[in-house]
């Protein structure tokens, strides 16, 4: 089963971080965000990736072109330039990099990948979200209901403390707001049947608008509830939180990986 990763957005809200590289290449613990996402899928045996490129896609291309050389151990004989590999990289991933246009919308990017996806079920996510999701359970859930699409429902991280006030504006209780108070949102980890691609009409189609809304209206969308760790990276604050976790060695998105 192939894994599609949408990695072509501008990432404008990350300010200076995305001036010279796309958001999926922002580093956490010395590795790009994209690598962390791929590692999660690969740990469950899903290691064939199709990456939709757009803004600064050449940065992602160079990263994977140089991956073997920069991460493996080797000996160079300077007399003739011969290279002997002492230790190859551990990752056995296959990564297809596809330019889907700089200004293409999320649904349009998915549509442009159609010829690379074949006729089978595939996984899809965005290049800016991390979770300790059990991908095996996600796929099993999708198979069990027989619909065209599964979306992972997550609780957004709580951002503010909760105040309880009486009629005289006296604070009667203060508590850190729980993510449970936030309800469920689209967590960005999908399992999809090829039929969903027929719902995307052009490069300007937003996946989250017409196609996803249509699937819901037609009863073809089911939600896989994930109560574990999830973090989307939309702002510098989100990034700082994850970087602090890396510094502490507390990378929850790797928890439970096989």
Q: Does residue 174 form part of some domain?
A: no
Residue 192 backbone dihedrals phi, psi, to 5 degrees:
-135, 145
**CA atoms lying within 13 Å on the CB side of residue 6:** 25
CATH code of residue 239: 3.90.550.10
Whether residue 152 contacts residue 188, with contact meaning beta carbons closer than 8 Å, is answered with yes
Q: Does residue 26 form part of some domain?
A: yes
Q: What band does 172 get if pLDDT is binned at 50, 70 and 90?
A: very low
Q: Does residue 177 form part of some domain?
A: no
Q: Does residue 104 form part of some domain?
A: yes
Q: Per the structure, how many domains does the chain have?
A: 1
> Which residues span the domain enclosing 80?
3-156+183-254
Cα angle 183, 13, 27; round to 5: 95
Q: Does residue 163 form part of some domain?
A: no
Q: Does residue 90 form part of some domain?
A: yes
Q: Does residue 249 form part of some domain?
A: yes
Q: Which has the closest alpha carbon to 224: 122, 107, 137?
A: 137
Q: For 107-122, what is each residue's pLDDT tens digit?
A: 999 999 999 999 999 9
Q: Does residue 226 form part of some domain?
A: yes
Q: Which range has the top average pLDDT, 14-18, 59-63, 74-78, 166-170?
A: 59-63
Q: For 180-224, what is each residue's pLDDT tens digit?
A: 456 789 999 999 999 999 999 999 999 998 899 999 999 999 999
């Amino acid at each position: 089963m192939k894994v599609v990763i949408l990695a072509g957005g501008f990432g404008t809200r990350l300010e200076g971080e995305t001036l010279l590289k796309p958001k999926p290449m922002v580093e956490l613990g010395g590795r790009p965000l994209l690598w962390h996402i791929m590692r999660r899928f690969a740990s469950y045996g899903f290691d064939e990736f199709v990456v939709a490129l757009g803004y600064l896609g050449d940065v992602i291309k160079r990263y994977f072109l140089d991956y073997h050389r920069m991460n493996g151990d080797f000996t160079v004989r300077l007399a003739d330039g011969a290279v002997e590999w002492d230790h190859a990289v551990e990752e056995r991933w296959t990564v297809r990099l596809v330019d889907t246009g700089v200004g293409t919308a999320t649904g349009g990017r998915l549509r442009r990948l159609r010829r690379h996806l074949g006729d089978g079920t595939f996984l899809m996510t965005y290049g800016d979200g991390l979770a300790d999701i059990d991908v095996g359970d996600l796929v099993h859930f999708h198979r069990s209901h027989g619909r065209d699409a599964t979306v992972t429902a997550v609780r957004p991280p709580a951002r503010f403390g909760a105040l309880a006030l009486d009629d005289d504006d006296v604070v009667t209780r203060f508590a850190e707001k729980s993510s449970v108070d936030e309800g469920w949102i689209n967590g960005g980890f999908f399992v999809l049947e090829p039929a969903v691609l027929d719902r995307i009409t052009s490069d300007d189609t937003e996946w989250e608008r017409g196609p996803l809304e249509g699937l819901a209206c037609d009863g073809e969308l089911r939600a896989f509830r994930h109560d574990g760790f999830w973090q989307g990276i939309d702002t510098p604050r989100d990034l700082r939180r994850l970087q602090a976790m890396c510094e502490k060695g507390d990378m929850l998105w790797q928890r439970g990986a096989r």
